[in-house]
Amino acid sequence: MSEQSLSIDGFGAAVRDQAVDIHGSPMSAAADAPKQAFIRATEIWIPTENGRQLVLGSGLYGPLSDFETVSRETRFDYDEGLPGKAWAVGHPIVLKDLTGSYFKRDEAAKAAGLTCAVALPIFNGLQPMAVIVLFCGDDREHIGAIEVWHTPRDSIEMGLVDGYYGTAEALEWSYRHIKFMRGIGLPGQTWDTGMPVIMEDLGRSRRFLRWESTERVGINRGVGIPCGRDGEGAWVLTLLSALGTPIARRFETWVPDSSRNALTFAGGYCEDISDVAAVYGYIALPPTAGTLGQVWQSGVPAISTDLSTEPEPIAVSAADAGLTTMVAVPVIAAGTLKAIVAWYQ
């Protein structure tokens, strides 16, 4: 696939029109706009001891206390509701309409202003470890994307299954006409390496083949996360952040170093600190260190709401950047934890 192929299907014109409708002014104005949260709430659902249901393990709800109350009183059977459905199918699901569907908490979600949800199941082999659910609203100023890409076994191309784009809907129409070869673009690189991939500046990165279209609507950063149940082809979840509504204020990837029995920093970016790699340097986190160590040992995603209790380098850096919460997600393949992706608000 070449960059030239991105001009087909009226792609350029659709994106240019979208950019004018959204901003009505040069793109530089987006950088000066107040940054709002693209993700409104985050939940981690975990199996019960008998493995028959999912219950709420932890969550970030911000001011949505009523929705949190309903969620804590809810359980999901296999293939029931959004968490149960993601557990059953074994791959991420994008649900754009929470009303009139299999989503169980539709009334509470509507009252909270939540309109879309993305469920990401975490497996160790065939064993479900957890289901992460990310909720978004329908704010007119929200630009960004959460995408699900897939390639069946033995296929040479990866295509878009579904995605949520906020107000940048023209991107979805265009991306459905794009296929990625292994190693090409953000989905293709994530597929090829089987590891998380972070691109800090999509507007300047020609490795990101959709750079021109995303730059026009203000999307400037991307994260690819390999996911899905083993043996069912390759699945990739991509998170694309815009200038004014970033998916998160910081993303990090950490990988196990067997020679030191520690986690080491592999890459990341921060909206508030220019060089995260310089902050962490050659730090090695032991297996017992904070939330990241917990995820490494358990294979279960986790949320931290008190970053002052994290290992000193993380706690100090988070305080300097004004960060208060962390979500840490394991990347597991063939029974081995390959990496941890952490994002902060």
Domain 1-32+140-247 has CATH 3.30.450.40: yes
Domain residue ranges of the chain, discontinuous segments joined by +: 1-32+140-247, 36-138, 249-345
Q: How far apart are CA 55 and CA 33, in angstroms?
A: 38
Q: Which of 121, 111, 118, 146 is nearest to 134 (CA)?
A: 118
Q: What is the pLDDT of residue 215?
A: 52
Count of helices and strands (H, E) across the chain: 11, 18
Q: How far apart are CA 345 and CA 314, in angstroms?
A: 13
Q: Which of 118, 140, 121, 148 is nearest to 39 (CA)?
A: 118
Q: Any idea which architecture 36-138 has in CATH?
A: 2-Layer Sandwich (3.30)
Q: What is the pLDDT of residue 62?
A: 95
Q: What is the pLDDT of residue 203?
A: 54
Q: What is the pLDDT of residue 86?
A: 98
Q: What is the pLDDT of residue 177?
A: 78
Evaluate whether 36-138 and 249-345 have a shared fold.
Answer: yes
Spatial contact of 90 and 99, defined as CB atoms under 8 Å apart: no
Residues 6 or more apart whose Cβ sits within 8 Å of residue 141: 33, 36, 167, 244, 245
Q: How far apart are CA 336 and CA 230, in angstroms?
A: 11
Q: How far apart are CA 119 and CA 331, in angstroms?
A: 15
Per-residue pLDDT of the chain (345 residues; tens, 9 = 90+): 332 232 222 223 333 333 322 232 233 333 444 445 789 999 999 999 999 999 999 999 999 999 999 999 999 999 999 999 999 999 999 999 998 889 999 999 999 999 999 999 999 999 999 999 999 986 666 677 899 999 998 899 999 999 988 766 667 777 777 899 999 989 999 999 999 999 887 655 444 445 455 555 567 889 999 999 998 899 999 998 877 778 899 999 999 999 999 999 999 999 998 889 998 988 999 999 999 999 999 999 999 999 999 999 999 999 999 999 999 999 999 999 999 999 999
Distances (CA, A) of 338 to 225, 334, 342: 11, 9, 14
Torsion of CA 203, 207, 212, 215, to 10 degrees: -30
Just give the CATH number of 249-345. 3.30.450.40
Q: What is the pLDDT of residue 30?
A: 38
Q: What is the pTM of this model?
A: 0.86
